[in-house]
């Protein structure tokens, strides 16, 4: 009887969920229309209208209408649509209506080698010609080569890499490595900092700090303690107190400069002092260089400024050269060897795929061959000093311009001003990071390929925007 019922249900479901022939045909036609415009180089007026309307409707009905409210609020005249369409050179992109933007947001730090860098694009295209993804069974060569390159360019004894597709996955990997390595010593606790951003999946969210992102999802992974960023004394006391009560710390996770937190540069000796605490208490130091890595701050990795060698490092964002998503967690042999006996203990299907690895290898080539970190240091020094010249005139609303290399923050007296400035710059064709949620400090993280003239253009626009406020 039970099986009879099941059969009847299957019959019902077939009818219920089978697409009607007509609907199927119209969906196929729709996909053709979209595939057609994807393959186009320039759009005609009908295309533009179609894409804009589709995008707005689809975000409303199928993505998340919340994005539209946000976009509407920052777009001139309260229109919804600024629908992006294509890149325009290394440092700019244009929307469907043809408006060009200098990209000072840099995808929150993914475009270090620029938009569609020709050498990264060439490598990915070439790889695509013979293999896109890996078999999942044989040994894939590019994964090994990329891991070797990372071991060479990262500081200290960092040697073995695990690849994922994002920053949050890199952080998950770091947390799991620290846990497995420290468990046998009875150390199960972590310390992260107020203002930290490490990602939004449940493990990394445990290390992330913003209450707004965390509270709805509690309880998170247990064992995370919090200290104020830059406060060595509090770090020491928390480590000591934790060990006195049997809650020994396995690892401390830190961003070398807090990005999402508002470009917070710690005291210069902070990292070295934390590293000393780690050594004294046998704690692992995890450097989350997802945003600060790959040349952004004027060195290949920001910890090089501090002369500190972490036990575990997280990378992502710019690692894929602004073309492919890829993240990596790289650790010393001592730590990573926990994964040797069973390499399947931590895996992900797409991690380390040939296309992403090709992109990352080409990115490292560009960063090294074009001396990008040095370029970021020089251009950053220029840009920061020019921004300071402009903002000095508006001391009543601008608190500070700070940063390292091309990771720059402008802090305002309040959220409202920062928001107005980022909106004003947007209208002038400059994209900066300053959202509704966090606009007190707007972030300027352009491609490291940004030209001096473009920096000057931004400074001039900022002057005009500030004088109107
Ligand atoms: C962006 C970021 C992450 C998260 O990366 P996703 O790819 O968005 O998951 C983690 N850590 C830092 C420091 C970041 O800036």
Model confidence over 377-411: pLDDT tens digits?
Answer: 999 999 999 999 999 999 999 999 999 999 999 99
**Cβ burial 321-349 (10 Å sphere, 16+ → b, else e):** bbbbbbbbbbbbeebbebbeeeeeebebe
Provide the token pair at 245. Answer: 């009560």
What does the alpha-carbon distance between residue 45 and residue 91 come to, in Å, rounded to a whole number? 26
pLDDT in tens, 217-272: 999 999 999 999 999 999 999 999 999 999 999 999 999 999 999 999 999 999 99
Residues of the chain with CATH 3.40.640.10: 118-369
Query: 198 alpha carbon to ligand 1 midpoint, in Å?
Result: 5
Q: Report the alpha-carbon angle 208-203-205, nearest 5.
A: 25
Query: What ligand 1 atom has the least distance to the C-alpha of 169?
Result: 9
Level-2 CATH architecture, domain 118-369: 3-Layer(aba) Sandwich (3.40)
What does the alpha-carbon distance between residue 239 and residue 285 come to, in Å, rounded to a whole number? 13
* Closest residue by CA, ligand 1 atom 8: 167
Query: 11 alpha carbon to ligand 1 midpoint, in Å?
Result: 47
pLDDT band of 70, cuts 50, 70, 90 = confident
* Closest residue by CA, ligand 1 atom 10: 198
Query: 321 alpha carbon to ligand 1 midpoint, in Å?
Result: 15
Mean pLDDT of the chain: 93
Q: What is the dihedral of CA 312, 303, 430, 325, to 10 degrees?
A: -20
Q: What is the DSSP string of 158-193?
A: EEEEEEESSHHHHHHHHHHHHHHHHHTTT--EEEEE
Binding site membership of 197 for ligand 1 (Cβ less than 6 Å): yes
* Residue 14 CB burial class (10 angstroms; 0-12, 13-18, ≥19): exposed
Binding site membership of 302 for ligand 1 (Cβ less than 6 Å): no
pLDDT band of 83, cuts 50, 70, 90 = confident
Query: 432 alpha carbon to ligand 1 midpoint, in Å?
Result: 17
**311 and 105 Cβ atoms separated by less than 8 Å:** no
Query: 39 alpha carbon to ligand 1 midpoint, in Å?
Result: 31
Q: Which residue has the tokens 């809650």?
A: 247
Binding site membership of 171 for ligand 1 (Cβ less than 6 Å): yes
pTM: 0.95
pLDDT in tens, 411-448: 999 988 998 999 899 999 999 987 656 789 999 999 99
Residues of the chain with CATH 3.90.1150.10: 20-98
What does the alpha-carbon distance between residue 154 and residue 131 come to, in Å, rounded to a whole number? 28
Binding site membership of 209 for ligand 1 (Cβ less than 6 Å): no
- The domain 20-98 having CATH identifier 3.90.1150.10: the answer here is yes
**pLDDT at res. 3:** 56
């Amino acid at each position: 009887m039970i099986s009879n019922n099941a059969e009847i249900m299957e019959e019902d479901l077939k009818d219920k969920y089978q697409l009607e022939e007509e609907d199927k045909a119209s969906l196929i036609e729709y996909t053709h229309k979209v595939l057609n415009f994807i393959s186009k180089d320039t759009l005609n007026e009908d295309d533009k209208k179609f894409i804009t309307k589709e995008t707005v409707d689809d975000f409303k009905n199928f993505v998340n209408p919340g994005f539209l409210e946000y976009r509407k609020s920052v777009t001139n005249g309260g229109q919804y649509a600024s629908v992006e369409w294509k890149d325009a050179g290394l440092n700019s992109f244009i929307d469907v209506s043809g408006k060009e933007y200098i990209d000072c947001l840099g995808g929150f730090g993914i475009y270090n080698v620029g938009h569609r860098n020709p050498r990264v694009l060439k490598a990915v295209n070439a790889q695509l010609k013979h293999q896109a993804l890996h078999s999942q069974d044989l040994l894939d060569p590019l994964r090994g080569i990329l891991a070797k390159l990372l071991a060479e360019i990262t500081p200290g004894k960092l040697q073995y890499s695990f690849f994922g597709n994002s920053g949050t996955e890199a952080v998950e990997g770091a947390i799991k490595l620290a846990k497995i390595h420290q468990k046998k010593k009875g150390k199960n606790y972590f310390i992260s900092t107020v203002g930290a951003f490490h990602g939004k999946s449940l493990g990394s969210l445990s290390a992330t700090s913003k209450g707004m992102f965390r509270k709805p999802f509690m309880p998170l992974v247990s064992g995370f303690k919090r200290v104020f960023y830059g406060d060595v004394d509090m770090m020491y006391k928390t480590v000591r107190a934790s060990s006195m009560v049997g809650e020994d710390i396995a690892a401390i996770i830190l961003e070398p400069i807090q990005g999402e937190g508002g470009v917070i540069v710690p005291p210069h000796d902070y990292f070295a002092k934390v590293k000393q605490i780690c050594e004294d208490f046998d704690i692992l130091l995890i450097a989350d260089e997802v945003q600060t890595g790959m040349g952004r701050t004027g060195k290949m990795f920001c910890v090089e400024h501090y002369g500190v060698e972490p036990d575990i490092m997280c990378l992502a964002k710019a690692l894929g050269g602004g073309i492919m998503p890829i993240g990596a967690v790289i650790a010393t042999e001592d730590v990573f060897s926990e994964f040797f006996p069973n390499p399947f203990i931590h895996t992900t299907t797409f991690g380390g795929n040939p296309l992403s690895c090709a992109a990352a290898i080409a990115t490292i080539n560009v960063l090294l061959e074009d001396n990008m970190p040095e370029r970021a240091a020089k251009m950053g020094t220029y840009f920061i000093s020019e921004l300071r010249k402009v903002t000095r005139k508006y001391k009543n609303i601008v608190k500070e311009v700070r940063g390292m290399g091309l990771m720059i923050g402008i802090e305002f007296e309040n959220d409202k001003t920062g928001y107005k400035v980022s909106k004003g710059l947007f209208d002038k064709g400059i994209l900066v990071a300053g959202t509704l949620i966090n606009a007190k400090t707007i972030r300027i993280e352009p491609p490291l390929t940004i030209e001096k003239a473009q920096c000057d253009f931004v400074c001039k626009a900022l002057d005009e925007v500030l004088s109107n406020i």
